[in-house]
Protein backbone atom coordinates (compact mmCIF):
# COMPACT_ATOMS: atom_id res chain seq x y z
CA UNK A 1 0.00 0.00 0.00
CA UNK A 2 1.39 3.42 -0.89
CA UNK A 3 2.26 5.88 1.87
CA UNK A 4 -0.41 8.38 0.86
CA UNK A 5 -3.22 5.81 0.66
CA UNK A 6 -6.07 6.89 2.93
CA UNK A 7 -6.28 5.54 6.49
CA UNK A 8 -10.05 5.25 6.29
CA UNK A 9 -12.30 4.97 3.25
CA UNK A 10 -16.04 4.94 3.79
CA UNK A 11 -18.04 4.25 0.64
CA UNK A 12 -21.81 4.19 0.14
CA UNK A 13 -22.31 3.28 3.78
CA UNK A 14 -25.92 2.72 4.80
CA UNK A 15 -27.40 1.56 8.10
CA UNK A 16 -31.08 0.64 8.42
CA UNK A 17 -33.32 -0.68 11.19
CA UNK A 18 -36.70 -2.34 11.07
CA UNK A 19 -39.00 -0.53 13.48
CA UNK A 20 -42.73 -0.59 14.25
CA UNK A 21 -43.05 2.57 12.19
CA UNK A 22 -41.32 0.98 9.16
CA UNK A 23 -37.71 0.90 7.99
CA UNK A 24 -35.55 3.58 9.61
CA UNK A 25 -32.84 4.48 7.13
CA UNK A 26 -30.57 5.93 9.79
CA UNK A 27 -27.73 6.68 7.41
CA UNK A 28 -27.72 6.37 3.66
CA UNK A 29 -24.98 6.46 1.07
CA UNK A 30 -22.36 8.09 3.29
CA UNK A 31 -18.92 8.34 1.69
CA UNK A 32 -15.75 10.05 2.86
CA UNK A 33 -12.02 9.53 2.99
CA UNK A 34 -9.63 10.28 5.81
CA UNK A 35 -5.85 10.47 5.56
CA UNK A 36 -3.39 9.67 8.33
CA UNK A 37 -2.81 12.50 10.77
CA UNK A 38 -5.88 14.45 9.64
CA UNK A 39 -8.63 15.63 11.94
CA UNK A 40 -12.12 15.22 10.51
CA UNK A 41 -15.14 16.99 11.95
CA UNK A 42 -18.59 15.44 11.47
CA UNK A 43 -21.27 18.07 12.05
CA UNK A 44 -25.05 18.02 12.00
CA UNK A 45 -28.21 18.35 14.07
CA UNK A 46 -29.47 15.67 16.43
CA UNK A 47 -30.56 12.53 14.57
CA UNK A 48 -28.55 13.30 11.42
CA UNK A 49 -26.60 10.04 11.71
CA UNK A 50 -23.29 11.15 13.22
CA UNK A 51 -23.16 8.51 15.96
CA UNK A 52 -24.44 5.78 13.62
CA UNK A 53 -21.56 6.55 11.29
CA UNK A 54 -19.10 6.31 14.21
CA UNK A 55 -20.65 3.10 15.52
CA UNK A 56 -20.54 1.51 12.08
CA UNK A 57 -16.80 2.30 11.84
CA UNK A 58 -16.25 0.92 15.35
CA UNK A 59 -18.30 -2.18 14.57
CA UNK A 60 -20.52 -1.58 17.60
CA UNK A 61 -23.93 -1.18 15.92
CA UNK A 62 -26.86 -3.01 17.50
CA UNK A 63 -27.37 -6.54 16.10
CA UNK A 64 -30.63 -5.42 14.48
CA UNK A 65 -28.82 -2.96 12.19
CA UNK A 66 -28.58 -3.80 8.48
CA UNK A 67 -25.31 -2.44 7.12
CA UNK A 68 -24.31 -2.07 3.48
CA UNK A 69 -21.45 -0.35 1.70
CA UNK A 70 -17.80 -0.41 2.58
CA UNK A 71 -15.53 0.74 5.42
CA UNK A 72 -11.86 0.16 4.74
CA UNK A 73 -9.16 0.78 7.32
CA UNK A 74 -5.71 0.78 5.70
CA UNK A 75 -7.35 -1.02 2.81
CA UNK A 76 -8.89 -3.76 4.96
CA UNK A 77 -12.66 -4.18 4.67
CA UNK A 78 -14.37 -3.95 8.07
CA UNK A 79 -17.97 -4.52 6.96
CA UNK A 80 -18.73 -8.20 7.39
CA UNK A 81 -15.91 -9.00 9.84
CA UNK A 82 -16.78 -11.34 12.71
CA UNK A 83 -17.26 -10.03 16.25
CA UNK A 84 -13.85 -11.40 17.25
CA UNK A 85 -12.11 -9.73 14.33
CA UNK A 86 -13.88 -6.45 15.07
CA UNK A 87 -12.92 -6.66 18.73
CA UNK A 88 -9.32 -6.99 17.67
CA UNK A 89 -9.60 -3.93 15.39
CA UNK A 90 -11.09 -1.99 18.31
CA UNK A 91 -8.36 -3.20 20.64
CA UNK A 92 -5.53 -2.15 18.38
CA UNK A 93 -6.54 0.28 15.68
CA UNK A 94 -9.62 2.33 16.54
CA UNK A 95 -10.76 3.87 19.81
CA UNK A 96 -13.77 5.97 20.74
CA UNK A 97 -14.43 8.59 23.40
CA UNK A 98 -18.09 9.09 24.26
CA UNK A 99 -19.86 12.16 25.52
CA UNK A 100 -20.67 10.77 28.94
CA UNK A 101 -17.39 10.05 30.69
CA UNK A 102 -18.96 9.24 34.04
CA UNK A 103 -20.95 6.28 32.76
CA UNK A 104 -18.04 5.06 30.65
CA UNK A 105 -15.68 4.81 33.64
CA UNK A 106 -16.01 2.14 36.32
CA UNK A 107 -17.09 3.94 39.52
CA UNK A 108 -15.63 1.34 41.91
CA UNK A 109 -12.11 1.18 40.45
CA UNK A 110 -9.51 3.91 40.74
CA UNK A 111 -8.53 5.81 37.63
CA UNK A 112 -5.09 4.20 37.91
CA UNK A 113 -6.46 0.65 38.05
CA UNK A 114 -8.53 1.30 34.95
CA UNK A 115 -5.68 2.87 33.01
CA UNK A 116 -3.20 0.19 34.07
CA UNK A 117 -5.68 -2.47 32.91
CA UNK A 118 -6.06 -0.71 29.55
CA UNK A 119 -2.27 -0.68 29.17
CA UNK A 120 -2.04 -4.35 30.22
CA UNK A 121 -4.54 -5.44 27.57
CA UNK A 122 -2.51 -3.68 24.92
CA UNK A 123 0.96 -4.61 26.22
CA UNK A 124 0.59 -7.86 28.19
CA UNK A 125 4.34 -8.40 28.32
CA UNK A 126 4.96 -5.31 30.49
CA UNK A 127 5.59 -5.35 34.25
CA UNK A 128 3.19 -3.72 36.70
CA UNK A 129 5.72 -0.93 37.27
CA UNK A 130 5.99 -0.28 33.55
CA UNK A 131 2.21 -0.16 33.21
CA UNK A 132 1.94 2.27 36.09
CA UNK A 133 4.61 4.48 34.53
CA UNK A 134 2.74 4.38 31.22
CA UNK A 135 -0.53 5.25 32.96
CA UNK A 136 1.15 8.30 34.54
CA UNK A 137 2.60 9.25 31.17
CA UNK A 138 -0.86 9.07 29.59
CA UNK A 139 -2.38 11.24 32.33
CA UNK A 140 0.43 13.74 31.83
CA UNK A 141 -0.23 13.78 28.09
CA UNK A 142 -3.87 14.76 28.67
CA UNK A 143 -2.89 17.48 31.11
CA UNK A 144 -3.90 15.98 34.48
CA UNK A 145 -1.90 17.77 37.18
CA UNK A 146 -0.04 15.64 39.79
CA UNK A 147 -0.81 12.37 37.99
CA UNK A 148 1.15 10.23 40.52
CA UNK A 149 -1.39 11.27 43.14
CA UNK A 150 -4.50 11.43 40.97
CA UNK A 151 -3.95 7.89 39.79
CA UNK A 152 -5.10 6.62 43.20
CA UNK A 153 -8.42 8.49 42.98
CA UNK A 154 -11.86 7.32 41.90
CA UNK A 155 -13.72 8.78 38.88
CA UNK A 156 -16.24 10.66 41.08
CA UNK A 157 -13.34 12.59 42.62
CA UNK A 158 -12.64 14.16 39.21
CA UNK A 159 -14.48 17.12 37.66
CA UNK A 160 -16.35 16.63 34.36
CA UNK A 161 -13.52 18.03 32.28
CA UNK A 162 -10.90 15.98 34.15
CA UNK A 163 -12.97 12.81 33.65
CA UNK A 164 -13.15 13.52 29.96
CA UNK A 165 -9.34 13.83 29.95
CA UNK A 166 -9.11 10.46 31.70
CA UNK A 167 -11.38 8.99 29.01
CA UNK A 168 -9.09 10.35 26.32
CA UNK A 169 -6.10 8.87 28.16
CA UNK A 170 -7.88 5.48 28.33
CA UNK A 171 -8.77 5.58 24.68
CA UNK A 172 -5.19 6.25 23.56
CA UNK A 173 -3.69 3.60 25.88
CA UNK A 174 -3.69 1.18 22.96
CA UNK A 175 -2.08 3.72 20.62
CA UNK A 176 -4.91 3.63 18.08
CA UNK A 177 -4.45 4.78 14.48
CA UNK A 178 -7.90 6.33 14.61
CA UNK A 179 -9.53 8.07 17.57
CA UNK A 180 -13.22 8.91 17.32
CA UNK A 181 -14.57 11.46 19.80
CA UNK A 182 -18.38 11.53 19.78
CA UNK A 183 -19.59 14.85 21.22
CA UNK A 184 -16.66 14.86 23.65
CA UNK A 185 -17.47 18.30 24.99
CA UNK A 186 -21.25 18.57 24.87
CA UNK A 187 -21.80 17.98 28.58
CA UNK A 188 -19.14 20.49 29.60
CA UNK A 189 -19.19 24.24 30.06
CA UNK A 190 -17.60 26.43 27.42
CA UNK A 191 -14.22 27.00 29.10
CA UNK A 192 -13.78 23.31 29.90
CA UNK A 193 -14.88 22.42 26.36
CA UNK A 194 -12.06 24.52 24.99
CA UNK A 195 -9.57 22.78 27.29
CA UNK A 196 -10.73 19.30 26.28
CA UNK A 197 -10.45 20.24 22.60
CA UNK A 198 -6.95 21.52 23.28
CA UNK A 199 -6.13 18.13 24.85
CA UNK A 200 -7.39 16.33 21.75
CA UNK A 201 -5.30 18.61 19.59
CA UNK A 202 -2.25 17.98 21.75
CA UNK A 203 -2.78 14.21 21.58
CA UNK A 204 -3.10 14.49 17.82
CA UNK A 205 0.12 16.53 17.62
CA UNK A 206 2.13 14.31 19.96
CA UNK A 207 0.96 10.89 18.81
CA UNK A 208 0.05 11.54 15.18
CA UNK A 209 -3.29 9.80 15.73
CA UNK A 210 -5.96 10.51 13.16
CA UNK A 211 -8.98 12.04 14.88
CA UNK A 212 -12.68 12.17 14.07
CA UNK A 213 -14.57 14.74 16.16
CA UNK A 214 -18.35 14.48 16.11
CA UNK A 215 -20.28 17.55 17.15
CA UNK A 216 -23.45 19.52 16.48
CA UNK A 217 -21.39 22.69 16.93
CA UNK A 218 -19.63 24.21 13.92
CA UNK A 219 -17.64 26.35 16.36
CA UNK A 220 -15.96 23.20 17.66
CA UNK A 221 -14.89 22.03 14.21
CA UNK A 222 -13.58 25.49 13.32
CA UNK A 223 -10.99 25.16 16.05
CA UNK A 224 -9.90 21.60 15.54
CA UNK A 225 -10.74 20.05 12.16
CA UNK A 226 -8.74 20.01 8.94
CA UNK A 227 -11.68 18.65 7.06
CA UNK A 228 -15.41 18.64 7.72
CA UNK A 229 -18.41 16.65 6.58
CA UNK A 230 -21.84 18.11 7.22
CA UNK A 231 -24.59 15.55 7.74
CA UNK A 232 -28.30 16.09 7.38
CA UNK A 233 -31.02 13.44 7.72
CA UNK A 234 -28.69 10.48 7.34
CA UNK A 235 -26.63 11.78 4.43
CA UNK A 236 -23.61 13.97 3.75
CA UNK A 237 -24.72 17.32 2.29
CA UNK A 238 -21.33 19.02 2.13
CA UNK A 239 -17.69 17.97 2.51
CA UNK A 240 -14.78 20.40 2.47
CA UNK A 241 -11.56 21.46 4.09
CA UNK A 242 -12.34 23.67 7.05
CA UNK A 243 -11.62 27.09 5.46
CA UNK A 244 -13.67 26.57 2.28
CA UNK A 245 -16.50 25.22 4.41
CA UNK A 246 -16.67 28.50 6.31
CA UNK A 247 -15.73 30.93 3.56
CA UNK A 248 -17.11 29.29 0.42
CA UNK A 249 -20.11 27.55 1.96
CA UNK A 250 -21.90 25.56 -0.71
CA UNK A 251 -25.03 24.13 0.90
CA UNK A 252 -28.00 26.12 2.22
CA UNK A 253 -28.06 23.83 5.28
CA UNK A 254 -24.42 24.57 6.15
CA UNK A 255 -25.18 28.23 5.59
CA UNK A 256 -28.07 27.95 8.09
CA UNK A 257 -25.83 26.25 10.64
CA UNK A 258 -23.27 29.04 10.23
CA UNK A 259 -25.90 31.75 10.61
CA UNK A 260 -27.05 30.18 13.88
CA UNK A 261 -23.56 30.37 15.44
CA UNK A 262 -23.10 33.07 18.09
CA UNK A 263 -20.55 35.55 16.79
CA UNK A 264 -18.35 37.71 18.98
CA UNK A 265 -17.65 40.05 16.09
CA UNK A 266 -21.28 41.13 15.71
CA UNK A 267 -21.53 44.25 17.78
CA UNK A 268 -25.19 44.20 18.58
CA UNK A 269 -25.16 40.45 19.27
CA UNK A 270 -26.73 40.95 22.66
CA UNK A 271 -29.91 42.42 21.21
CA UNK A 272 -29.96 40.26 18.09
CA UNK A 273 -31.77 36.95 18.33
CA UNK A 274 -29.72 34.10 16.92
CA UNK A 275 -30.90 32.75 13.60
CA UNK A 276 -32.67 29.41 13.75
CA UNK A 277 -33.22 27.15 10.75
CA UNK A 278 -37.01 27.03 10.43
CA UNK A 279 -38.88 23.75 10.95
CA UNK A 280 -37.74 20.42 12.34
CA UNK A 281 -35.47 17.74 10.89
CA UNK A 282 -37.42 14.83 9.37
CA UNK A 283 -37.40 11.37 10.97
CA UNK A 284 -35.57 8.32 9.65
CA UNK A 285 -38.68 6.30 8.83
CA UNK A 286 -40.11 9.14 6.71
CA UNK A 287 -37.44 10.96 4.78
CA UNK A 288 -38.95 13.47 2.32
CA UNK A 289 -38.59 12.78 -1.42
CA UNK A 290 -35.60 14.34 -3.12
CA UNK A 291 -33.34 16.63 -1.10
CA UNK A 292 -34.18 15.96 2.54
CA UNK A 293 -33.46 19.55 3.48
CA UNK A 294 -35.81 20.94 0.82
CA UNK A 295 -38.88 21.26 3.11
CA UNK A 296 -36.86 23.63 5.35
CA UNK A 297 -34.89 25.36 2.61
CA UNK A 298 -35.73 28.90 1.53
CA UNK A 299 -34.20 28.18 -1.88
CA UNK A 300 -36.01 24.94 -2.69
CA UNK A 301 -37.77 24.79 -6.05
CA UNK A 302 -40.64 22.37 -6.67
CA UNK A 303 -39.95 19.94 -9.48
CA UNK A 304 -36.18 20.15 -8.98
CA UNK A 305 -35.37 19.78 -5.30
CA UNK A 306 -38.07 17.23 -4.46
CA UNK A 307 -37.26 14.68 -7.15
CA UNK A 308 -34.08 12.76 -6.29
CA UNK A 309 -31.51 12.92 -3.47
CA UNK A 310 -28.94 15.30 -5.00
CA UNK A 311 -25.61 13.62 -5.74
CA UNK A 312 -22.43 15.37 -4.55
CA UNK A 313 -21.22 18.02 -7.00
CA UNK A 314 -17.54 18.91 -6.99
CA UNK A 315 -17.17 22.68 -6.64
CA UNK A 316 -13.38 22.77 -6.68
CA UNK A 317 -10.57 20.77 -5.09
CA UNK A 318 -12.03 18.29 -2.66
CA UNK A 319 -15.09 20.40 -1.86
CA UNK A 320 -18.38 18.68 -2.68
CA UNK A 321 -21.93 19.93 -2.24
CA UNK A 322 -25.11 17.84 -2.57
CA UNK A 323 -27.49 20.50 -3.84
CA UNK A 324 -29.01 20.76 -7.32
CA UNK A 325 -29.02 24.55 -6.95
CA UNK A 326 -25.37 24.87 -5.93
CA UNK A 327 -23.93 27.94 -7.60
CA UNK A 328 -27.32 29.62 -8.03
CA UNK A 329 -29.07 29.75 -4.64
CA UNK A 330 -26.68 32.35 -3.25
CA UNK A 331 -27.73 34.90 -5.88
CA UNK A 332 -31.27 34.74 -4.59
CA UNK A 333 -32.68 37.24 -2.11
CA UNK A 334 -35.17 35.52 0.18
N1 LIG B 1 -31.75 1.26 17.48
C2 LIG B 1 -32.30 2.06 16.56
N3 LIG B 1 -33.38 1.68 15.85
C4 LIG B 1 -33.92 2.48 14.92
N5 LIG B 1 -33.46 3.69 14.59
C6 LIG B 1 -32.39 4.15 15.26
C7 LIG B 1 -31.76 3.38 16.29
N8 LIG B 1 -30.73 4.10 16.78
C9 LIG B 1 -30.74 5.27 16.10
N10 LIG B 1 -31.73 5.31 15.19
C11 LIG B 1 -32.00 6.42 14.25
O12 LIG B 1 -30.82 6.66 13.54
C13 LIG B 1 -30.75 8.05 13.17
C14 LIG B 1 -29.37 8.58 13.42
O15 LIG B 1 -29.11 8.62 14.80
P16 LIG B 1 -27.71 9.06 15.40
O17 LIG B 1 -27.69 8.62 16.81
O18 LIG B 1 -26.61 8.63 14.52
O19 LIG B 1 -27.83 10.65 15.33
P20 LIG B 1 -26.77 11.75 15.82
O21 LIG B 1 -26.47 12.58 14.62
O22 LIG B 1 -25.64 11.10 16.51
O23 LIG B 1 -27.64 12.61 16.81
P24 LIG B 1 -27.27 13.26 18.25
O25 LIG B 1 -26.69 14.61 17.92
O26 LIG B 1 -28.59 13.38 18.91
O27 LIG B 1 -26.32 12.36 18.95
C28 LIG B 1 -31.83 8.75 13.95
O29 LIG B 1 -32.84 9.10 13.03
C30 LIG B 1 -32.32 7.71 14.94
O31 LIG B 1 -33.71 7.87 15.13
MG1 LIG C 1 -24.96 11.10 18.47
Domains of the chain: 8-93+176-263+272-332 (3.40.50.300)
Query: Ligand 1 atom closest to Cα of 62?
Result: 1
Read off the pTM. Answer: 0.91
How many angstroms does the Cα of residue 275 sit away from the middle of ligand 2? 23
Closest C-alpha to 136, from 157, 105, 154, 115: 115
- Ligand 1 site residues (CB inside 6 A) read 17, 19, 24, 26, 44, 46-52, 62, 216, 284
Measuring from atom 11 of ligand 1, which residue has the nearest CA? 26
Number of Cα atoms under 13 Å in the Cβ half of residue 156: 4
Rounded Cα distance between 206 and 318, Å, is 27
Measuring from atom 22 of ligand 1, which residue has the nearest CA? 51
Q: What are φ and ψ of residue 160, in 5° steps?
A: -55, -50
How many angstroms does the Cα of residue 53 sit away from the middle of ligand 1? 10
What pLDDT, on a 0 to 100 scale, did the predictor assign at position 253?
Answer: 97
Regions of the chain with pLDDT less than 70: 1-3, 101-102, 263-273
Q: In terms of DSSP bridges, do strands 22-34 and 8-19 run parallel, antiparallel, or are they unpaired?
A: antiparallel
Query: Ligand 1 atom closest to Cα of 183?
Result: 27
What pLDDT, on a 0 to 100 scale, did the predictor assign at position 104?
Answer: 79
What pLDDT, on a 0 to 100 scale, did the predictor assign at position 176?
Answer: 92
* Of 213, 284, 285, 288, best ligand 1 pocket probe by most atoms within 8 Å of the beta carbon: 284
CB neighbour list of residue 142: distance below 8 Å, 6 or more residues apart: 165, 166, 168, 169, 199, 202, 203
Closest-approaching ligand to the CA atom of 57: 1
What pLDDT, on a 0 to 100 scale, did the predictor assign at position 263?
Answer: 67
- E-state strands within 20-129: 22-34, 39-43, 66-73, 76-77, 94-97
Between the alpha carbon of residue 20 and those of residues 51, 177, 234, 286, the distances in Å are: 22, 39, 19, 13
Closest-approaching ligand to the CA atom of 28: 1
How many angstroms does the Cα of residue 98 sit away from the middle of ligand 2? 9
Rounded Cα distance between 87 and 258, Å, is 38
Amino acid sequence: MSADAPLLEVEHLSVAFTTDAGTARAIEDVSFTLHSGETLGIVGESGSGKSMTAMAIMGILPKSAVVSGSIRLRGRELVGLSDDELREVRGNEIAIVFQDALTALNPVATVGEQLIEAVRVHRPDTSREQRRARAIELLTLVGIPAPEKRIERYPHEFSGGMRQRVMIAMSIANEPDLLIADEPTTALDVTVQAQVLEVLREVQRRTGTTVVVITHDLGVVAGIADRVIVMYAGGVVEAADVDPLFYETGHPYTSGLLASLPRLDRRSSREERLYQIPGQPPIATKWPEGCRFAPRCAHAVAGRCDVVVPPPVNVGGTHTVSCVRVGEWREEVV
